[in-house]
Amino acid sequence: MAEASSLVGKLETEVEIKASAGKFHHIFAERPHHVSKATPDKIHGCELHEGDWGKVGSIVIWKYVHGNADGKVSVAKDRIEAVDPEKNLITFKVLEGDLMKEYKSFAFTIQVTPKQGGSGSIVHWHLDYEKISEEVAHPETLLQFCVEISKEIDEHLLAEE
């Protein structure tokens, strides 16, 4: 059993932003199609495939460019697994797409908390995954991608004010 468990992983990071926790959460929960406006070179679009924006069980399709020099657009079909507006939390589980070539399962959780004693917020990214084999790298570059898009979304939200 120990063999299989080495394929299961979790990566986490935190990004400090200037925007409010609610605003950052809102763009992923209610307006993910606006994420591409904030990060045009990384996220090319998000389409609602089934259900409603920000509702558990809804399916969205992300188009993004990550980790390939040729700028090829990758696709991820995700189901919203959890949404908690009180905690500014949303979880996307990847159902299909380019990530599934290397992972049996993959989920992104984004939780935003207001910074203690000051303005701004902290974005917590949690990546939970199971690799298909030992040869597959842990998704550190994807975690870095999450950090970069967080900063770009922050800039976008501040510009909107």
Our measurement of the distance from residue 66's CA atom to the centroid of its chain's CA atoms, rounded to an integer in Å, reads 12
Q: What is the pLDDT of residues 18-52, one digit of tens each?
A: 999 999 999 999 999 899 999 999 999 999 999 99
CA 86 to CA 106: how far, in whole Å?
24
High-pLDDT (> 90) share of the chain, %? 87
Q: Which of 117, 97, 87, 108 is nearest to 24 (CA)?
A: 87
Paired tokens of 154: 């922050």
User: Is the distance from CB of 121 to CB of 87 less than 8 angstroms?
Assistant: no
Mean pLDDT confidence for 66-71 = 74
- pTM score of the predicted model: 0.93
> What pLDDT score was predicted for residue 68?
64
CA angle 30, 161, 151 (to 5 degrees): 70
The structure tokens 């409010």 sit at 20
Q: What is the pLDDT of residues 69-94, one digit of tens each?
A: 678 899 999 999 999 999 999 999 99
